[in-house]
Structure 1
Amino acid sequence: MTETRTRDRKPQGAEKQRWHAEAAYVAGMVETDVLIETEGDRITAVTPGLQAPADAVHLPGLTLPGLANAHSHAFHRALRGRTQIGEGTFWTWREQMYEAVAGLNPDTYFELAVGVFTEMALAGITSVGEFHYAHHDHGGAQYADPNAMGHALIQAARTAGIRITLLDTCYLTGGLHATVNRTALNNTQKRFSDGDAEKWAARVESLRSAYANEPDVIIGAAIHSVRAVPKEQLGTVAAAAAKHDAPLHVHLSEQRAENDACLARYRLTPAQLLESSGALGPNTTAVHATHLSQADIEVLGDSETCVCMCPTTERDLADGVGAARTLFEAGSPIALGSDSQAVIDLFEEARAMELDERMRSERRGHWPSTDLIDAATAAGQESLGWRGAGRLHAGELADFTTVGLDSIRLTGTTLDVAAESVIYAATAADVRHVVVGGRVVVHDGIHRLVEEPARRLGAAISALYRRNARV
Structure 2
Amino acid sequence: MIAFWCETALVSIDGGAGARGSGAGGSTAAAGVRLEVENFRISSISTGVQPEPGDQVLNGVVFPAAANAHSHAFHRILRGRTHDGRGDFWVWREQMYRSAAELTPEKYEKLATAVFTEMVVSGFSSVAEFHYVHHEPEGTPYAEPHAMELALARAAVAAGIRLTLLDTLYLAGGIGTPLSPEQARFGDADAQAWLDRLASLRVEIARNFPPDMVSVGAALHSVRGVPEDALKTVARQLPDDIPLHIHLSEQPAENEACLQAYGVTPAGLLARHGLLSAQLSAVHATHLTPEDIQLLGDAGGTVVMCPSTEADLADGIGPARALSDAGAIIALGTDQHAVIDPWVEMRTLEHGERLGSGQRGRFSPQELLRAATVGATASMGTPIASALEVGAVCDLMAVAPDSVRTAGSMPQQFAFSATASDVTAVVIAGELVASNGVHVRLGAPGRLLMEALKEFS
TM-score between the two structures when normalised by the length of structure 1 = 0.91
1:188 match: secondary structure: helix
* Structure 1: tracts of 5 or more residues without a match: 1-15, 177-181, 466-471
1:327-379 residue CA offsets vs partner (Å, 9 max, x unmatched): 00110010000001001011111101111111111111111100000000111
Kindly indicate whether residue 201 of structure 2 is the aligned counterpart of residue 207 of structure 1. yes
1:389 match: secondary structure: coil
Task: Identify the range of structure 1 (452-461 vs 58-67) with the bigger mean alpha-carbon deviation.
Answer: 452-461
Match of 1:79 in 2: 78
User: Aligned partner of 2:329: which letter?
Assistant: P
Match of 2:354 in 1: 358
- The CA deviation at 1:240 is 4.6
Task: Identify the range of structure 1 (90-99 vs 22-31) with the bigger mean alpha-carbon deviation.
Answer: 22-31
User: Aligned partner of 1:175: which letter?
Assistant: G
1:71-93 residue CA offsets vs partner (Å, 9 max, x unmatched): 00000000001112211010000
Structure-2 change in CA distance of 1:76 and 1:240 (3 Å): farther
- The CA deviation at 1:244 is 4.8
User: Aligned partner of 1:237: which letter?
Assistant: V
Match of 2:28 in 1: 30
Kindly indicate whether residue 425 of structure 2 is the aligned counterpart of residue 429 of structure 1. no
- Following the alignment from structure 2 to structure 1, what is the Cα–Cα distance between the partners of residues 44 and 247? 38
1:210-225 matches, within 5 Å, as 210-212=204-206, 214-225=211-222
User: Aligned partner of 2:406: which letter?
Assistant: L
- Following the alignment from structure 2 to structure 1, what is the Cα–Cα distance between the partners of residues 28 and 50? 16
Match of 2:456 in 1: 464
1:11-410 matches, within 5 Å, as 16-27=1-12, 28-32=26-30, 33-176=32-175, 182-212=176-206, 214-241=211-238, 243-387=239-383, 389-410=385-406
- The CA deviation at 1:390 is 2.2
1:383-434 residue CA offsets vs partner (Å, 9 max, x unmatched): 2134563232222211111111121211233xxx2121x2011111111111
1:25 match: secondary structure: strand
1:374 match: secondary structure: helix
Percent identity, please: 47
User: Aligned partner of 2:6: which letter?
Assistant: A
1:226 match: secondary structure: coil
- Following the alignment from structure 1 to structure 2, what is the Cα–Cα distance between the partners of residues 379 and 267? 32
Task: Identify the range of structure 1 (333-342 vs 387-396) with the bigger mean alpha-carbon deviation.
Answer: 387-396
1:174 match: secondary structure: strand
1:433-444 matches, within 5 Å, as 433-444=425-436
- The CA deviation at 1:24 is 1.8
Q: Contact 1:31–1:48 (CA<8 Å) still a contact in 2?
A: no
User: Aligned partner of 1:321: which letter?
Assistant: I
Q: Contact 2:66–2:385 (CA<8 Å) still a contact in 1?
A: no
- Following the alignment from structure 2 to structure 1, what is the Cα–Cα distance between the partners of residues 326 and 444? 45
1:86 match: secondary structure: coil
- Following the alignment from structure 1 to structure 2, what is the Cα–Cα distance between the partners of residues 189 and 272? 26
Alignment RMSD: 1.4
1:149-195 residue CA offsets vs partner (Å, 9 max, x unmatched): 0100111011011000001000000101xxxxx31111111100012
1:459 match: secondary structure: helix
Structure-2 change in CA distance of 1:70 and 1:277 (3 Å): same
Structure-2 change in CA distance of 1:240 and 1:451 (3 Å): farther
Structure-2 change in CA distance of 1:240 and 1:398 (3 Å): farther
1:282 match: secondary structure: coil
- Following the alignment from structure 1 to structure 2, what is the Cα–Cα distance between the partners of residues 101 and 62? 39
Structure-2 change in CA distance of 1:128 and 1:464 (3 Å): same
User: Aligned partner of 2:219: which letter?
Assistant: A
Structure-2 change in CA distance of 1:459 and 1:384 (3 Å): same
Q: Contact 2:126–2:384 (CA<8 Å) still a contact in 1?
A: no
1:9-59 residue CA offsets vs partner (Å, 9 max, x unmatched): xxxxxxx11111222222221231221110131111123333333332221
- Following the alignment from structure 2 to structure 1, what is the Cα–Cα distance between the partners of residues 307 and 258? 24
- Following the alignment from structure 2 to structure 1, what is the Cα–Cα distance between the partners of residues 235 and 109? 28
Structure-2 change in CA distance of 1:240 and 1:132 (3 Å): farther
- The CA deviation at 1:62 is 1.6
* Structure 2: tracts of 5 or more residues without a match: 13-25
Q: Contact 1:382–1:389 (CA<8 Å) still a contact in 2?
A: no
Q: Contact 2:161–2:428 (CA<8 Å) still a contact in 1?
A: yes
Task: Identify the range of structure 1 (401-410 vs 447-456) with the bigger mean alpha-carbon deviation.
Answer: 447-456
User: Aligned partner of 1:371: which letter?
Assistant: E
Q: Contact 1:136–1:146 (CA<8 Å) still a contact in 2?
A: no
- The CA deviation at 1:60 is 1.5
- Following the alignment from structure 1 to structure 2, what is the Cα–Cα distance between the partners of residues 53 and 19? 9
Match of 2:408 in 1: 412
- The CA deviation at 1:66 is 1.6
Task: Identify the range of structure 1 (435-444 vs 250-259) with the bigger mean alpha-carbon deviation.
Answer: 435-444
- Following the alignment from structure 2 to structure 1, what is the Cα–Cα distance between the partners of residues 279 and 389? 23
Q: Contact 1:112–1:457 (CA<8 Å) still a contact in 2?
A: yes
- The CA deviation at 1:459 is 1.7
User: Aligned partner of 1:24: which letter?
Assistant: A
- Following the alignment from structure 2 to structure 1, what is the Cα–Cα distance between the partners of residues 42 and 268? 41
2:456 match: secondary structure: helix
Q: Contact 1:108–1:460 (CA<8 Å) still a contact in 2?
A: yes
2:202 match: secondary structure: helix
1:215 match: secondary structure: coil
Kindly indicate whether residue 438 of structure 2 is the aligned counterpart of residue 446 of structure 1. yes
